[in-house]
Structure 1
């Protein structure tokens, strides 16, 4: 019975657009474990026993939460399915790496280094300069940029189809960004290739991520940015963080504008939840200072 419930649950998740690969593997393991004990319904004790078999606290918590979501769906159909408490194995420890926020000069140095790539006169320097410039100017994910096709460039902006959460979105472009992209397209269309990828190698093939990362490390060297993040290398993904933080900093002195802007920024970045965008406030000293000042003013006003 649990196997049948799982099959229906997986079909439902995939019909909503989720790939649901890792979750399916985990849930198959749990269902096999539960059915070996003769369970026909999800039991909290069995969930905790199975989750505890994972080798690390993070994996144990992930097992628990994955089965808990399954149990919630099944409990809605039949209350005999038990739902474990989300904190039954403790709370998650936040381990999100602090972002590196590039300065305007650092981004300019990276793009100049890209423009100097060999072979001179080929599409390579133009392509990498456009790719990293587009990441800095739009905050899109590198995977989204590498998945772009020529047909995704429209008069209204870029159509982002290969997103982290399988939700397509339209990305409007600033006039200067669009101009730089159009200049690259002239060079791109001169290549004789059947590949429709927007960003391609000199040979006319779509770029793999590992190649792009290797070139990025070379550019960090040339821009004198290796180890700039407290001894660690800044990442490509930090261009996205920088875009988000600089965007929020434009909304200083008005908390209502910040609140509205965060909602718009969340949509633009393709976040699944607006709370993911609020995380950027902690990386924005200007806004954090204003939040502290507003809190102090509120406190002093209340004391008066």
Structure 2
């Protein structure tokens, strides 16, 4: 019964335009857990026990809130479904995770380590080295890189189709980035594959998001940038943050130039609103130095 209710719930969200990927995975896991216990309605006790299986407080709370939204929907039709309190595990601290800003040397180490992946004489190492390099050089989302098709590579740049906010955009590429991409394409077009995905596995199949994340974590640990499984450290998404910050560092240091640059950066990153781009900006020594210089210039102008 819960399985059918979940299928209807997911279909409704997808019809409204939501991809419903991560919530779908979590809810299928929860429903399997509940049905294994012979339950046909949601109970707070079962939600609590299932959510406690997550390895961290953040993941436990995410599990709780995901099922709670599902329960609210079901409770409106059938009051037998219990709606667990949002504070079942206590009040959450809404502290935003600080992005990790990679140095150019760390990005080189990441790409070099990807080039050493096996199996030998396969496209796998070149696939991951090129993908990680492309994400670092353009700030695109990892999901966007996975979704690129061969026909999306044009003379003018990369077409990023149907992104997070249902918009498509064109990403012009730096000559060095284009050269690396063309080098990968020369091998990719000779690979045995029935897929039109740009990035493929050594078996010729499109890459899956969980696989990409797993490979990234293995590499980032192998080069000493992250500890054992379960510990925090640099994420693949932080390459996007790094691109935004480094881009701003190279911007001309006057207010009008910065305003124009932020607008262009927001468009390039595929943000729906320019305010979304501000979350990607993180203080670095170079940016703080620029801000200090600007402050001193303003002070001199005011006191003159």
TM-score (norm 2): 0.68
CA deviation after TM superposition for structure 1 residue 243, in Å: 0.7
Task: Name the structure 2 match of 1:7.
Answer: none
Confirm or deny: 8 A CA contact 2:150 2:197 kept in the other structure: yes
Confirm or deny: 8 A CA contact 1:99 1:283 kept in the other structure: no
Q: In structure 2, how many angstroms separate the alpha carbons of the residues matched to 1:285 and 1:167?
A: 34
Counterparts of 1:135-214 in structure 2 under 5 Å? Answer: 135-214=135-214
Structure 1 pair 281–145 and aligned structure 2 pair: CA distance change class (3 A): closer
CA deviation after TM superposition for structure 1 residue 94, in Å: 4.9
Structure 1 pair 29–20 and aligned structure 2 pair: CA distance change class (3 A): farther
Structure 1 pair 146–246 and aligned structure 2 pair: CA distance change class (3 A): same
Structure 1: stretches of 5+ with no match in the other structure: 1-12, 37-51, 61-91
3-state SS of paired residue (1:133): helix
Q: In structure 2, how many angstroms separate the alpha carbons of the residues matched to 1:271 and 1:170?
A: 13
Confirm or deny: 8 A CA contact 2:251 2:258 kept in the other structure: yes
Task: Name the structure 1 match of 2:86.
Answer: 55
TM-score (norm 1): 0.68
Q: In structure 2, how many angstroms separate the alpha carbons of the residues matched to 1:19 and 1:279?
A: 23
CA deviation after TM superposition for structure 1 residue 256, in Å: 1.8
Structure 1 pair 123–282 and aligned structure 2 pair: CA distance change class (3 A): closer
Counterparts of 1:101-120 in structure 2 under 5 Å? Answer: 101-120=101-120
2:299 equivalent to 1:268:
no
Q: In structure 1, how many angstroms separate the alpha carbons of the residues matched to 2:96 and 2:186?
A: 40
Size of the aligned set, in residue pairs, is 242
Counterparts of 1:11-160 in structure 2 under 5 Å? Answer: 18-19=17-18, 29=72, 33=76, 54-56=85-87, 94-160=94-160
Q: In structure 2, how many angstroms separate the alpha carbons of the residues matched to 1:187 and 1:134?
A: 16
Structure 1 pair 186–291 and aligned structure 2 pair: CA distance change class (3 A): same
For residues 230-267 of structure 1, what are the alpha-carbon distances to aligned partners after superposition, in whole Å with 9 as ceiling and x for unaligned? x7321000111111100000015322211110100000
Structure 1 pair 272–262 and aligned structure 2 pair: CA distance change class (3 A): same
Confirm or deny: 8 A CA contact 2:193 2:204 kept in the other structure: yes
CA deviation after TM superposition for structure 1 residue 14, in Å: 9.1
Structure 1 pair 272–285 and aligned structure 2 pair: CA distance change class (3 A): farther
Higher Cα radius of gyration: 1
RMSD: 3.4
CA deviation after TM superposition for structure 1 residue 151, in Å: 1.1
Q: In structure 2, how many angstroms separate the alpha carbons of the residues matched to 1:282 and 1:103?
A: 13
Confirm or deny: 8 A CA contact 1:136 1:239 kept in the other structure: yes
Q: In structure 2, how many angstroms separate the alpha carbons of the residues matched to 1:31 and 1:217?
A: 37
Structure 1 pair 273–31 and aligned structure 2 pair: CA distance change class (3 A): farther
